[in-house]
Structure 1
Amino acid sequence: MPKFRRFLLALLSSMNLTRLPVTPTQRTMPPRRLLALAAALALLGAESGPVSGQSQPPHAKRNLSCPLGSYLCPTLPPSYAICRTHSTLDFFDPGLPQDTRLRPTAETHVSGRSLTSLNQTIYHLQGEANLVRADQRLQADTVDYDGDSSDYEARGNVRMQQAGELIAADHVKGNSDRGTGTADGHLRYQMLLSRGNGTADSVSMLDINRSSYLMSSYSTCDIGHHVWEIRSKQIRIDKQRGRGTARDVKFYYRGVPWMYLPYFGFPTDNRRESGFLSPELSHTSRSGYVIGAPYYFNLAPNYDLTVNPRIYTRRGVVLEETFRYKTRRSTGLLGVEYNPHDGAPKDSGTLYNTEDHARYLMKFVSHTRLWDNWSLDTNINRASDGAFLYDYGSDLYTSAIGTLASTAYLNGHGKWWTSSIGADVYQNINPFLNNSVMQYNRLPHAVFNMDRPLTRWLDFGMDDEATAFRKPGNVEGQREDIYPWLAADFRGSAWFVKPRVGYRYTAYQLQPGYNHYNAYGPIAPDEQSPFNQATMQRSLPIVSLDSGLVFDRQTSLFGQQYTQTLEPRLFYLYVPYRNQNNLPLFDTGIDTLDYQQLFSTNQYSGADRQMNANNLTAALTTRFLDDSGTERFSASLGQIQYFAPQRVILPYETNSQVGRIIQTNTEPTNWARSNYVFQGSLSLADNWRVTTTYQYDPNTHQTDVGIMQLQHRFGDGGLVDFSYLYRRGLLNQYSTAAVYPLTDRWRLLGSLTWSVVDHELIEALGGVEYDSCCVSFRVVDRSYVNTSSFSNMYTNNKRDNSFMFEVVFKGLGSSSNQVESMLRRDILGYQGYQ
């Protein structure tokens, strides 16, 4: 392993990942950033080695688990597997109960080398004295105990365990019934449930659950090895609330003070509590340095609030608030980011002047159960201007998008039907494109679907939709699409035949005005519109027959036994031709051809176009299943045979990247066959998986699509992803991402995306993660092309840079997870830990 690590480090050095290729709009990592990164790594290095007699596993397992092939993995809960073995005070008795309710009925057992009692009530124990009662155990050189009042006093090497807490001191005096008392002299303590521990001059045990420590320290690190700790004049611990408070607090890191607070609160268990989350520190080329101090308010068991004031050195102060709630019938989230005054000058090339303006971003998501089988679902997103996400980014939106969608729907369902009615409204947030490229708002939009069995093998169903399309400056109208169908399903153990017949009726009512429909949709204003009437319709039957066989046999491959299947499939589709050139295009485009599309009844999304067809799809699938039924290999190949030309076409299309109209060939397709479509997957082992898609055009003898994805998981959270994506005329790029565990504490992170067409890096990310028993941090640097940066006349690939640093002191609060959100997006399959 050391040789491989040296080889990997040499390879990374040769690739020079920290210095990206320079383009006129690209910045390299400045030297000061490298120095800051090196300083952070040195400062936050691994903890000291184990103390004598305390062994630590060389690679403690964190039980990282995410299925092979998964690209979205949950965050792992905190793990103490990497903490020191037996990191408790040496007198801890694991067999002692921690339930304080056992005390009233429990007997008290006393022992010692000598025991004297003058009246059989007050006992004097001398030498290795022990007093045990339910969850309490007291050990000392000398113990005086009053059996009537349960008062006690212990002196010399006092060791006390009670109510999930350990205390070591020179002198302890108290009452075992009430759980009160005092302790002083070389005092050490430990909370068993929270791993919190420290030292103090003295402690006052106010009752069973509350204690007050004077001139004390507190940390969740291993005893005797405090990477961080707080030191305070007074620390109060309330085990019932799971809460600790401290006054006149100084934070120490490796013995060096770095922050002072007059008051500080922190959790002592896993219950939600109000308090500060981990601070945020980052830098972007558009916003400057960003510093945030999120605070969590645990308002009630069913709602909470997180407030995060952030300072952007180039743009001012942004206040982010996230409110979550849950009631008997409803759950929801309201998030707002607000900057009352943006001080950054206007960016050249954008369509928005945001200087000296108030700016905001709002998100509201809710689900409300109204009554049986009916619910109201909303997802409202709104920004003050189209450049907000381009300038600020947002934790509410973890991917680069060009449109904010807002939806509100009333949804219902029954045994054989589903229904919804609502609206979809869109906002353009690409600062380089005007609103002409936006899709239509759907106000309102209603859907009703049903699938009702008539017999054991026959079903009757309907797919119905009614929509009003709204877009200022364009022709607007309503569309009703009604599609009843009748389907049969005949099948046996190794065969199936599924005939289906339907009838599709679509009607339009266009709104009057706007130059008599002469400027509809994306057609340029100086072009003639094909629409010369307010109402129009289309109706046609749709007939299909889907059939297949399944053969299987036992076979062996490389010495391993498998069950191999062979699954031929035929799909026939007939749809007569209807001239649809006079119908508008509200929400319809061409679906991307893939393997599933070979068995679709329409190549168009939306209801504005229905393809004509006299087609036969032939496909063949084979699978290899191991003895456990796990699919180790599958391969599918299919093609459509056209017995009639495809005459229904789109007369034009919009190039959303440059915001202008591209005229297309209006001639029907006379090809006799479609692309060969292949898809396959191979699980080389339990930790290797390869998937691939390939399309070859026999008419042009060219490759149209080529996709290959590989994922490998290894070690303690190790991950390698590699993909190649090719789509003729559109895309040709390589992507790779990796998480490499150097040790049980250190992980290297990285991802690269290279465009073959543009001859440049689309995105590069590099970082490091460190995790220990009581502190973890992430340092990430990212250089990327802002995918929103497209102007109306040219592609303006503006490169942005961001640097993010996040540190978590375990036991003092949670992380805001902003860095983790970015890593989950850029490294598919990444699994972070708290």
Structure 2
Amino acid sequence: MTPSPTTLRALPPHRLLAVAAALALAGGPVEAQTTAPAQPAVPASEATASRETVSSCPLGAFHCPPRPESFALCRPNALLEFYDPALPRDPTLRESSDTAVDAAHVDSSNRAIYRLSGNVRIERADQLLRADRVDYNDTTTDYDAQGNVRYQEAGELLSADHLRGNNQANHGVAENVRYQLLQSRGNGTAARGELLDAQHSRYNQVTYSTCDVGHHLWEVRAKKLKIDKATGVGTAHGATMRFANVPFLYLPYFTFPIDNRRKSGFLYPTFGSSNRSGTMFSIPYYLNLAPNYDATLEPRIYTQRGTLLAGEFRYLLPGSAGQFNAEYLPNDHGEDLNGGSSTKGRDRWLLKVGDNTHLIGPWSFATSINRASDRNYVRDFGNDLYTSSVGTLASSAYIGGGGNWWNASFGADSYQNVDPYLPDTVVQYKRWPRATLGLDLPLTHWLDFGAQTEAVAFRKDGVVEGDRLDLYPYFAADFRGAAWFVRPKLAYRYTAYQLDSGYQRYGYGGLLVTNQVSPFDKRSPSRALPIASLDTGLIFDRSTSLFGKTYTQTLEPRLYYLYVPYRQQDDLPLFDTNRMSFDYWQLFAPNQFSGADRQMNANDLTAALTTRLLDDDGVERLSASIGQIHYFAPQRVQLPNGPVTTAAPTDWTRSDYVAQLGVQLNDRWRLNSQYQWSPNTRQTDLGSLELQRRIGADGIFNFSYRFRRNLVEQYDASAIYPISERWRLLGRWVYSVRDQRTVEALAGVEYDSCCVAVRVVGRHYVVSSGPITERGNSNNAVMFELIFKGLGAFNGQTEDVLRRGILGYQ
């Protein structure tokens, strides 16, 4: 043989020693995280070095999606030293590519055996195998690679001291293995790796981490590891998880999924604490019962309450999907902290059921059931401000359907009081049952006929009960041009009641009348009246400039006339009606009351003016509006201010001036403001200011002030301040001027590194609307979260709290 390097081409493709790829852990714990093999692969370390900064959540968004997992802080090109960046990255080229073999020496004196030595290089498309020596038996397909064995393909890197096996039997053994998964950043070592067949492999003394090669801040070590691709299950023996080389979790035996298939097993444990229930620890167990349904069991231990078992069952059937949640705590050990009924020694529970099922044609059934054993349950076991501050649990079940011009529903609603400080009388009426029918039928291109119809039976202990029918048909026209619109509408509203026996004992403020008889003695009261409106407007525009940028400015005057004749309605009960908060959109509403129990009288004219600035892309950068209603007749329909008496009508001729302003001249900051001033009382009725400012790519500042006369006055400030590339400070403070106390205070810190992120957050928050002096009215909590990138979060509970508490958090 010649001593010069030799090149052989067109060997059968299957004879390339690609079996080395199967010995890596890509088929192991993280296979589900790799990209599809048909896609050209880019090494994760290279991708993070060149990737663009993740776009921030748009200013003003109430719910920002979680920020994608980032490895931007990892070392650029932190790859195993033998990585060849010139190698193609498209695995789809393998079948159509020749195999090139280069070696300093080739011995083929035995026609069945190839002996290659000296810088052996076997390459096909994205696959490359290098070694000091390779022996290959063309008859038996046995192979033996020795000395500095290195294998590379689009998805992984692998090195070993010795690699031997049989291609046809899909069997191979590698000694002293190092591996790296290029698409999911996983890397580690194994003392020995063995491919038993195409579906099964096993490893000894194996490690795994997503940190930089040679710099493992966290690492999973296992004495033995078995991979079964047929079932999608990996089995580890003697596994230890280490952080900063300190073991903190040991599992003598556990199984885990290796692909997208679900797998039964334990989830990460969580822990927390509260003033009312003490320290909590839980470790959920996931049950993969079938491809279309699963369950999770979560035992929790509360040091002040006892042991609670929570469970979740989810299902997905043809035409049906739903979820069932239940919690049960026997023999509560805790003391009552609010002076109300004691829960000590009682069995306590929570039930939640949700289902959506298609029935036939356009019809479907939807239900949501939420019930608790007592009024303290949500406050005692809620794990954040948003859960523990819930005052009512709503349940409903409806059959509904719809088409192009109609929609209908039939069902029921029920409510449960879960606020220990408020009496049950504050809970809404049960709507038992309720039916609706909506129509919107176009008659011509400018004229529509529509109707809103509702029939409800209202049920509630200790107050007047009865049935109500509300019919609301209308004709609506729409005439418009490029710079104008005229929208007349004519409607008729008929509302009728059938009250239950004993109605004479109640005042229609909803309360029992003591020592007297209610003056409202009609068992079947009704109300009928027409409603007419005319909505008109003009739209002018011009080109203008501001701060060196060109904009299109609009000027939009609008007049809205509403006529509703007065009908005496004091003899109508109040089942689901309240006065709605007055705001800009109320200037153009046909009724100031929610529900059908009251229809305001009106002979009103609203005048409003809006101006906007639109940039060259049509994005609205500024919007300012002001408006007021002029009353030609007094507001005579009012809500009762006592069990029987009614509130006096207003004799005002003008409503509040209502103004609103929204400004966002660029993507770095935005401002929204509302203001209402009453010319009748010469007082401010409402004022609000919201300011949001982006700080760098990962920071944000929010400030808001909210005032509504005699109801609320609050300051709310929150911020995410990036100190460096790795550190961020978090904070929020909400202060109630009326109550003279802090509603919520939050402070925390985030640390981000290549493969680990840490959050520590401390919170103080009010959990109920009870008296300030009540013990247990507020709660203190400290939350800790440790995130292992590519593996999950330990004790993950802080992200939802931060995303809902700090506007713009990601």
Residues 379, 591 of structure 1: alpha-carbon distance in 2 compared, 3 angstrom cutoff:
same
* 1:212 alignment partner, one of 196, 199, 202: 202
Residue 16 of structure 1 corresponds to none
Aligned-pair distance for 1:756?
A: 1.8
Q: How many Å separate the matches in 2 of 1:393 and 1:421?
A: 32
Residue 616 of structure 2 corresponds to 627
Residue 33 of structure 1 corresponds to none
**Secondary structure of 1:604's partner?**
coil
Q: How many Å separate the matches in 2 of 1:111 and 1:761?
A: 75
Paired AA for residue 160 in structure 2: A
2:247 counterpart of 1:257: yes
Asked if structure 2 preserves the Cα contact closer than 8 Å seen for 1:163 and 1:208, the reply is no
Question: 1:138-217 maps to which residues of 2 (within 5 A)?
Answer: 138-161=129-152, 164-184=155-175, 186-217=176-207
Aligned-pair distance for 1:634?
A: 0.6
Paired AA for residue 640 in structure 2: P
Q: How many Å separate the matches in 1 of 2:507 and 2:708?
A: 35
Q: How many Å separate the matches in 1 of 2:128 and 2:621?
A: 58
Residues 666, 718 of structure 1: alpha-carbon distance in 2 compared, 3 angstrom cutoff:
same
Q: How many Å separate the matches in 2 of 1:702 and 1:517?
A: 36
2:771 counterpart of 1:780: no
State TM-score, norm by structure 2: 0.89
Question: 1:557-576 maps to which residues of 2 (within 5 A)?
Answer: 557-576=546-565
Question: 1:611-626 maps to which residues of 2 (within 5 A)?
Answer: 611-626=600-615
CA displacement 1:275-313 (0-9 Å, x = unmatched): 443321222111111122223334444333233222211
Q: How many Å separate the matches in 1 of 2:121 and 2:50?
A: 39
**Secondary structure of 1:824's partner?**
helix
* 1:128 alignment partner, one of 78, 100, 119: 119
State TM-score, norm by structure 1: 0.86
Residues 135, 240 of structure 1: alpha-carbon distance in 2 compared, 3 angstrom cutoff:
farther
Q: How many Å separate the matches in 2 of 1:274 and 1:746?
A: 36
Q: How many Å separate the matches in 1 of 2:79 and 2:242?
A: 22
Asked if structure 1 preserves the Cα contact closer than 8 Å seen for 2:331 and 2:345, the reply is yes
Q: How many Å separate the matches in 1 of 2:374 and 2:707?
A: 34
Residues 775, 336 of structure 1: alpha-carbon distance in 2 compared, 3 angstrom cutoff:
farther
**Secondary structure of 1:390's partner?**
helix
Residue 20 of structure 2 corresponds to none
Q: How many Å separate the matches in 2 of 1:741 and 1:264?
A: 39
Q: Give % identity.
A: 53
**Secondary structure of 1:652's partner?**
coil
2:370 counterpart of 1:381: yes
Paired AA for residue 269 in structure 2: P
* 2:469 alignment partner, one of 480, 483, 502: 480
Paired AA for residue 293 in structure 2: Y
Q: How many Å separate the matches in 2 of 1:687 and 1:395?
A: 30
Deviates more, 1:782-791 or 1:720-729: 782-791
Aligned-pair distance for 1:771?
A: 3.2
Paired AA for residue 498 in structure 1: R
Asked if structure 2 preserves the Cα contact closer than 8 Å seen for 1:61 and 1:716, the reply is no
Residue 658 of structure 2 corresponds to 677
Residue 220 of structure 2 corresponds to 230
Aligned-pair distance for 1:563?
A: 0.6
Paired AA for residue 678 in structure 1: A
Paired AA for residue 706 in structure 2: L
**Secondary structure of 2:801's partner?**
helix
Asked if structure 1 preserves the Cα contact closer than 8 Å seen for 2:122 and 2:128, the reply is yes
* 2:779 alignment partner, one of 788, 792, 800: 800
Identify unmatched segments of 5+ residues in structure 2: 1-44
Residue 412 of structure 1 corresponds to 401
CA displacement 1:152-191 (0-9 Å, x = unmatched): 111111112469443312111112344421111x432233
Q: Structure with the greater relative contact order (CA < 8 A, sep ≥ 6): 1 or 2? A: 1
Aligned-pair distance for 1:411?
A: 1.1
2:320 counterpart of 1:304: no
* 1:648 alignment partner, one of 634, 637, 654: 637
Q: How many Å separate the matches in 2 of 1:101 and 1:384?
A: 63
Residue 277 of structure 1 corresponds to 267
Residues 789, 824 of structure 1: alpha-carbon distance in 2 compared, 3 angstrom cutoff:
farther
**Secondary structure of 1:110's partner?**
strand
Paired AA for residue 134 in structure 2: V
Q: How many Å separate the matches in 2 of 1:729 and 1:531?
A: 32
Q: How many Å separate the matches in 2 of 1:83 and 1:237?
A: 29
Identify unmatched segments of 5+ residues in structure 1: 1-53, 654-660
Paired AA for residue 292 in structure 1: S
Residues 757, 457 of structure 1: alpha-carbon distance in 2 compared, 3 angstrom cutoff:
same
**Secondary structure of 2:364's partner?**
strand
- The count of residues paired between Structure 1 and Structure 2 equals 765
Residue 824 of structure 1 corresponds to 803
Q: How many Å separate the matches in 2 of 1:795 and 1:665?
A: 35
Residue 344 of structure 1 corresponds to 334
Asked if structure 1 preserves the Cα contact closer than 8 Å seen for 2:132 and 2:147, the reply is yes
* 1:65 alignment partner, one of 53, 56, 60: 56
Paired AA for residue 681 in structure 2: T
Aligned-pair distance for 1:743?
A: 3.1
2:98 counterpart of 1:119: no
Residue 809 of structure 1 corresponds to 788
Asked if structure 1 preserves the Cα contact closer than 8 Å seen for 2:448 and 2:475, the reply is yes
Deviates more, 1:535-544 or 1:107-116: 107-116
Residue 581 of structure 2 corresponds to 592
Q: How many Å separate the matches in 2 of 1:403 and 1:251?
A: 43
Residue 667 of structure 1 corresponds to 648
Residue 91 of structure 1 corresponds to 82
2:734 counterpart of 1:757: no
Asked if structure 2 preserves the Cα contact closer than 8 Å seen for 1:457 and 1:489, the reply is yes
**Secondary structure of 1:160's partner?**
strand
Deviates more, 1:461-470 or 1:133-142: 133-142
Residues 163, 227 of structure 1: alpha-carbon distance in 2 compared, 3 angstrom cutoff:
same
Q: How many Å separate the matches in 2 of 1:135 and 1:457?
A: 64
Q: How many Å separate the matches in 2 of 1:714 and 1:268?
A: 40
Aligned-pair distance for 1:550?
A: 0.4
Residues 627, 718 of structure 1: alpha-carbon distance in 2 compared, 3 angstrom cutoff:
same
Q: How many Å separate the matches in 1 of 2:801 and 2:755?
A: 23
Question: 1:291-690 maps to which residues of 2 (within 5 A)?
Answer: 291-350=281-340, 352-394=341-383, 398=387, 400-513=389-502, 516-517=505-506, 521-523=510-512, 525=514, 528-652=517-641, 666-690=647-671
Paired AA for residue 168 in structure 1: S
Q: How many Å separate the matches in 1 of 2:807 and 2:246?
A: 38
Residues 496, 751 of structure 1: alpha-carbon distance in 2 compared, 3 angstrom cutoff:
same
Residues 585, 515 of structure 1: alpha-carbon distance in 2 compared, 3 angstrom cutoff:
closer
Residue 32 of structure 2 corresponds to none
Q: How many Å separate the matches in 1 of 2:515 and 2:335?
A: 36
Residue 4 of structure 2 corresponds to none
Asked if structure 2 preserves the Cα contact closer than 8 Å seen for 1:465 and 1:480, the reply is yes
Paired AA for residue 731 in structure 2: G
Asked if structure 1 preserves the Cα contact closer than 8 Å seen for 2:274 and 2:779, the reply is yes
Aligned-pair distance for 1:675?
A: 0.1
Asked if structure 1 preserves the Cα contact closer than 8 Å seen for 2:287 and 2:295, the reply is yes
Asked if structure 1 preserves the Cα contact closer than 8 Å seen for 2:409 and 2:437, the reply is yes
Residues 528, 272 of structure 1: alpha-carbon distance in 2 compared, 3 angstrom cutoff:
same
Asked if structure 2 preserves the Cα contact closer than 8 Å seen for 1:294 and 1:308, the reply is yes
**Secondary structure of 1:823's partner?**
helix
